[in-house]
Amino acid sequence: MQSIYLLTSLTNFKSLIKKTDDTSDDVINRMIAAASNEIENYTKRKLRGRTYGANGLPADYYNGDDLPRLYTKQYPIVSVTSIHDDTVRAFSSTTLKASTDYVVWKDEGIVELYSNAAKGSTFQKSIGNIKLIYTAGYDEFQIIEDTNDRIDFDEDGATETTANLTAGIYTAGELATHVAAQLNDVGTATFTCTYNYLTSKFTITSDGATLNLLWLSGTNLYRTAALLLGYRIDADDEDAVIYTSNDSILGIPNDLEQACLEITNRMYQQSAFGSGRFDKESEQMSGEAGGTLKFNSASMPPHVEKILKHYTRVILL
């Protein structure tokens, strides 16, 4: 089964190596998956956003230690759905912590109970008594007012309409829902917007007869949401009612995706599809037939390792 939590996309990798055909797409996808897994093993954490306790993923369970802080297994924390503290592990509604009883330190991956929390200011000391359902990892799309908060479109080939997006930070799913809502607020057709976590692309769909997305010719070119959604602004999208973004937008830090691209590229270049190893460290020639060649055989290219150290989990003793 293809993972949907990859740290780069097939589209972005093929753009890097200037590959246009699809003859080795399956192999490249496996390399991207392997590179993503290598990065997560190195950093000792799951990096792309997902919900633990939903969509087939198990919730997190922790041992209570009679302290007010809970250090989550994954971070940054996007949102907390529920926290139970139950020493008999039934996790009924009576052991549910109210959202007003704790504060979430998102970037640090900490949930901390307030001193006046209704159901106790510390987590009870027991084994497996804390059940946490939450969303964590990188999945961040930012709408900035007057910068990327407009979508110009027409539904008849003539009358321009503008959807106004609300400034804020969204997950990919939240952004897709918001885009659809704002299009529906001003348009005449019914619009949907979805995000595909495998391709990392948005798709905007209208049930009307015509939809033109005016990325280039629209009044609000200077503040279009096109690039945020992965659409290019060198031309309008015309003469269809379904448009999928041109580029993959993952909602993760750029340097983290670059690290995945670099590792995938090393795998690709060293495979039968590539041009050979690119991690050459030194070469010395002596005579017509002589010479030595030295490769950097480290598990991570040094510049990639430098990036990933920033994302490596700190183990608390």
Predicted pLDDT of residue 295 = 46
Of 224, 254, 204, 199, which Cα lies nearest the Cα of 233? Answer: 224
Asked if 87 contacts 94 with a C-beta cutoff of 8 angstroms, the reply is no
Question: pLDDT tens, 39-75?
Answer: 999 999 999 999 999 989 999 999 999 999 999 999 9
Question: pLDDT tens, 270-313?
Answer: 888 776 555 555 555 555 555 554 445 456 788 999 999 999 98
pTM, rounded to two decimals: 0.85
Q: Is 102 helix (H, G, I), strand (E, B) or coil?
A: strand
CA distance 10 to 23: 12
Q: Residue ranges per domain, the chain?
A: 50-136, 141-244
Tell me how far the alpha carbon of residue 69 is from its chain's centroid. Answer: 27
Overall average pLDDT of the 224-236 stretch:
97
Query: Quick check: 9 pLDDT over 90?
Result: yes
Question: pLDDT tens, 191-219?
Answer: 999 999 989 999 999 999 999 999 999 99
Which CATH fold topology does 141-244 show?
Immunoglobulin-like (2.60.40)
